[in-house]
């Protein structure tokens, strides 16, 4: 248990008094205990509550646009989860009926995974994925690809408007 940061507590009490919501005697000990549980972050917790105009004390919230910092353990768990998901996808890829449209759907899922969980290898992986998509697009029925919103979006993102129009023209020919 951490000791109460008296300076932070005094600022908190003064703030609540200025709000005309002073801390009552019966709840003062509970409030002190709550503040002390924030450990070395007590001053930051009080600063956050004052800045936001809150009447309570809460965990430090990430600032909009600021990503929370992950611990090494969390980062390693994320890497392992990604490796497990990739292994499942590879097994699924090998067991899926080998039609071009099915392969394109798996490419779409892989694209989503690379986009959501980028890492230093992502640019190379996306180049490789673009080549795989191009290979399966040549074999796929263009009408089937255009009927799938996710696939047509993927074509537009990877090959631009020109690639999308080429696919569209294959339907009309």
What ranges do the domains of the chain cover?
6-52, 98-172
pLDDT in tens, 71-98: 788 889 988 988 888 788 777 767 777 7
Helix, strand, coil shares, percent, the chain, to 5: 75, 0, 25
| Residues of the chain predicted below pLDDT 50 | none
Residue 23's contacts (CB-CB under 8 Å, 6 or more residues apart) are 12, 13, 16, 31
Angle among Cα 147, 148, 154 to the nearest 5 degrees reads 125
pTM tops 0.75, yes or no: no
For the chain, the straight-line distance linking the first and the last C-alpha, in angstroms and rounded, comes to: 75
pLDDT in tens, 131-147: 999 999 999 999 999 99
Which pLDDT score is estimated for 12?
92
């Amino acid at each position: 248990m951490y000791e109460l940061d008296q300076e932070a507590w005094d600022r908190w009490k003064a703030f609540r008094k200025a709000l005309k919501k002073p801390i009552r005697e019966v709840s003062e000990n509970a409030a002190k205990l709550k503040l002390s549980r924030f450990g070395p972050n007590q001053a930051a917790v009080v600063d956050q509550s004052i800045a936001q105009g809150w009447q309570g004390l809460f965990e430090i919230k990430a600032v909009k646009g600021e990503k929370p910092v992950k611990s090494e353990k969390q980062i390693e768990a994320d890497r392992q989860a990604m490796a497990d998901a990739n292994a499942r996808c590879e097994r699924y890829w090998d067991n899926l009926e080998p039609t071009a449209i099915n392969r394109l759907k798996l490419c779409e899922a892989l694209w989503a995974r690379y986009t959501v969980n980028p890492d230093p290898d992502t640019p190379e992986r996306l180049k490789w994925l673009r080549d795989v998509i191009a290979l399966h697009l040549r074999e796929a029925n263009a009408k089937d690809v255009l009927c799938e919103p996710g696939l047509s979006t993927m074509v537009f993102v990877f090959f631009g408007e020109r690639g999308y129009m080429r696919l569209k023209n294959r339907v009309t020919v």
